[in-house]
Amino acid sequence: MNISIIGSGYVGLVSGACFAQMGNKVTCVDIDINKIKKLQQGIVPIYEPGLERMVRENYKNKSLLFSTDLPQSVQSADIVFIAVGTPMGEDGSADLQHVTSVAQGIGQHLMENYTVIVSKSTVPVGTADKIKTVIRQELVKRNKDINFDVVSNPEFLKEGAAIDDFMYPDRVVVGADSEQAINIMRELYAPFMKNHDQFIGMDVRSAEMTKYAANAMLATKISFINEIANICELVGADINKVRSGIGSDARIGYSFIYPGCGYGGSCFPKDVQALAKTSKDYGYIPQLLNAVESVNQKQKYIIVHKVIKQFGENLGNYIFAIWGLAFKPGTDDMRQASAIIIINELTSRGAKIQAYDPKARFEAETHYLKDNQNITYVDEKYQALENADALILITEWLEFRSPDFAKIKQKLKTNLFFDGRNQFDKTRMQQLGFKYVQIGVKD
Ligand code: NAD
C-alpha cells in the first residue's frame, strides 16, 4: 500500500519504518526541514533502539521516503496517517493546532481516489469527527465531493522498545464507522498479526478513549504505588517488600508498581491532564485522575526533600553526581522528566551538578536544562562522581544496574547514595558501606 505519515517524530518515524519493513511504500512527512534533511542523509534525529538500522535499510531500498511536501504525499497515498504532536495546552487540554493544520492540508490536496485518513496522534474523544469536518470544509471550498473516511488508530508503543512494540503489538485498536475503512486497516495490519488476531475494531470514540484510559490506568498504578511508598516511609514499612507482597496477587500483578521519583515523558502527564480536562468539559469532576496527577507532581520533589534532609536548605557547598536525565531508560526523550525538576531544585539552592546520561545529554544541554549554569555534563558514569558529595540515581539505565560499588565509594566524598528508582537491596548496600536512601523505605 502507499502510505503517507504526517509528523515524523517518535511515533511517525517508528510507524513509517515498520510499515516500510513490511513491504509498503511509505513517505514520512514533516514541517521540520532540518529533520527531513537529516533523515535523507540517514541520520535519525532521535534515539530509539533499532530504528536507525531500519530507517537506513528501507530508505536505501526506496520503500521509505522523507519529504516536506504534504500535497504530493497526500495525493499519492491510499492511507494518510496523522502523527503530529498533541502537546498540553495551558489549561491542560490537548493542543490540537498541529492536527487541525494537517487536516486542512489534507482537505486542500485530497484527490478523487478513496483515501483513509488515520488519526494516530493521541487526541481527545471527538477529534476524528473534527478532522472530518475540517477536511469537508476544505473540500467544499474546492467544490469537490471526494469519498474519504477518518479512523482512529491510537498508538501504544513505548519509547525504548518502540520497534518491538510496533512489530509485535499486544493489540491494534482501530475505531471506524465504515466497513471499507476497517477492511483496509485490517489488511494493513495483517502482517503484524502472525501470532494471533490482535486487531480490535470498534467505534471511533471508543478507540480515542481507549488510548487515554490505557495511559490513565498505567499512570494510576504508578501514583498508587508511590503513595503507598510514602505511607510506608512514615509507618516504618518497606515498599519493596510490600510490592512483592501485593504483586504476587494475580489480580494486581508486578508490572507498573515500581516506586520511584515520579513518571514523566511525552504521554502520561499530558494524557492524564487532557482526559481530566475533557471530563470537566462534560461536567464530571475526575477526582481520581486529578489525584494521580498531583501525587506524581509531588513525587518529583521527593529526592530533593531527602537531599535537603541530609545537607540542609543551603546546598552552595555541595556537588551532586546525577545518573540519568531521560524520563526513562532506552530513550533520549526528556519531556517532563523528573531529572528536570530535581536538578533545577538542587541548583536553585546553590548546588553544583555533574550529570551523566548515556543518551539524553544533548537534549539536556541544548533544550531542557540549557539555561542552568550549575551543571557539568560528563561522558562516563564514574566521571560524574569525581569530588561529588553524593550520588543521585534518577533514570534506571541498564548500565547503572550493576555498577562497581567499590569505585563509587572510592570516588564519592561521602557514602551517600540517593536512589530514585530503588535499584538495589538496602541491606546489601549498607553492608557495602553506603548510606543508601530509597523511596518508600525509612532513611
Ligand atoms: P514528536 O514531537 O516526536 O513528533 C511530532 C512531529 O510532528 C514533529 O517532528 C513535528 O515537527 C511534526 N509536525 C508538527 N506539525 C506538523 C505539520 N503541520 N506537518 C507535518 N509535521 C508536523 O511527537 P511523538 O512523540 O511522535 O507523538 C506524536 C503523537 O503520538 C502525540 O499525540 C503523542 O501523544 C502520541 N504518542 C506518542 C507516543 C510516544 O511514546 N512518544 C506513544 C504513543 C502515542
pTM of the model: 0.95
In the chain, pLDDT over 90 holds for what percent of residues? 98
CA of 35 to the centre of ligand 1 (A): 13
CB 67 within 8 A of CB 28: yes
pLDDT tens digits along 80-95: 999 999 999 989 999 9
- Distance of alpha carbon 2 from alpha carbon 122, whole angstroms: 23
CB 153 within 8 A of CB 172: yes
Who contacts 366 (Cβ-Cβ below 8 Å, separation ≥6)? Answer: none
Residue 4 CA to residue 1 CA, distance in Å, equals 10
**Residue 180: what pLDDT?**
97
What pLDDT digit, counting tens, does each position of 23-65 carry?
999 999 999 999 999 999 999 999 999 999 999 999 999 999 9
User: What is the DSSP code (8-state) at residue 154?
Assistant: -
DSSP reduced 3-state for 126:
coil
Q: Give the pLDDT of residue 194.
A: 79
Which atom in ligand 1 lies closest to the alpha carbon of residue 271?
34
For residues 91 and 70, what is the distance between their CA atoms, to the nearest angstrom?
Answer: 30
Give the HSE-up count for residue 209: Cα atoms under 13 Å, Cβ half-sphere: 8
Alpha helix positions (H), 282-421:
287-299, 302-311, 338-348, 361-363, 405-411
Contact 9, 83 (CB under 8 A): yes
pLDDT tens by residue, 267-308: 999 999 999 999 999 999 999 999 999 999 999 999 999 999
pLDDT recorded at residue 379: 97
5 lines ligand 1 (CB under 6 A): no
* Ligand 1 touching residue 152 (CB < 6 A): no
H or E, element range at 188: helix 179-189
Q: Is 303:394 a contact under the CB 8 Å cutoff?
A: yes
**159 CB under 6 A from ligand 1?**
yes
Please state, rounded to an integer, the average pLDDT across all residues of the chain.
97
Q: Helix or strand or coil: residue 438?
A: coil
Full set of structural domains in the chain with CATH: 2-202 (3.40.50.720), 217-437 (3.40.50.720)
Can you read off the three cell numbers belonging to residue 111? Answer: 484527490
CB burial of residue 379 (10 Å; 0-12, 13-18, 19+): exposed
Helix (H) or strand (E) holding 141: helix 127-141
Q: Are 123 and 99 in contact (CB under 8 A)?
A: yes
Longest distance between any two alpha carbons in the chain, whole Å: 78
In the structure, how many helices (H) and strands (E) does the chain have?
17, 14
Query: What pLDDT sits at residue 71?
Result: 97
- Catalytic residue numbers? 267
Any ligand 1 atom below 6 A from CB of 266: yes
Pocket test for ligand 1, best of 8, 10, 31 (most atoms within 8 A of CB): 10
pLDDT at 195: 76
For ligand 1, atom 34: residue with the closest CA: 122
For the four alpha carbons of 289, 290, 291 and 292, in that order, the dihedral sign comes to positive
Closest CA to 392 of 360, 428, 430, 351: 351
Q: Is any ligand 1 atom within 6 A of the Cβ of residue 12?
A: yes
Distance 98 CA to ligand 1 centre (A): 9
Q: What's residue 353's pLDDT?
A: 98
- Cβ–Cβ < 8 Å for 239, 259: yes
Q: Note the pLDDT of residue 443.
A: 82
Among protein residues, the one whose CA lies closest to atom 12 of ligand 1 = 7
Cell of 362: 544533548
- Residue 212 CB less than 6 A away from ligand 1: no
> Cα torsion at 133, 139, 144, 147 (round to 10°)?
-50
| pLDDT class of 227 with cuts at 50, 70, 90 | very high
Residue nearest to atom 22 of ligand 1 (CA): 7
Angle separating helix axes 338-348 and 302-311, nearest 10 degrees: 30
**Does the beta carbon of 155 sit less than 6 angstroms from any atom of ligand 1?**
yes
- How many Å is the Cα radius of gyration of the chain? 24
All cell numbers assigned to 264 = 514523566
Residue 184 DSSP symbol: H
Question: Given a cut of 80, is residue 139 above it in pLDDT?
Answer: yes
Distance from the CA of 57 to the center of ligand 1, in angstroms?
23
Length of the chain: 443
In this structure, which residue's CA is closest to atom 30 in ligand 1? 121
Contact 287, 216 (CB under 8 A): no
Residue 9 has pLDDT above 80, yes or no: yes
Kindly state the average pLDDT of the residues 158-184: 97
Reply yes or no on whether the pLDDT at 204 is more than 90: yes
Best residue among 47, 74, 155, 327 to mutate for probing ligand 1's pocket (most ligand atoms within 8 Å of CB) is: 155
Q: Measured from the CA of 270, which atom of ligand 1 is nearest?
A: 34
364 pLDDT higher than 90: yes
Q: Is 169 in the pocket of ligand 1 (CB under 6 A)?
A: no
Q: What is the pLDDT of residue 303?
A: 98
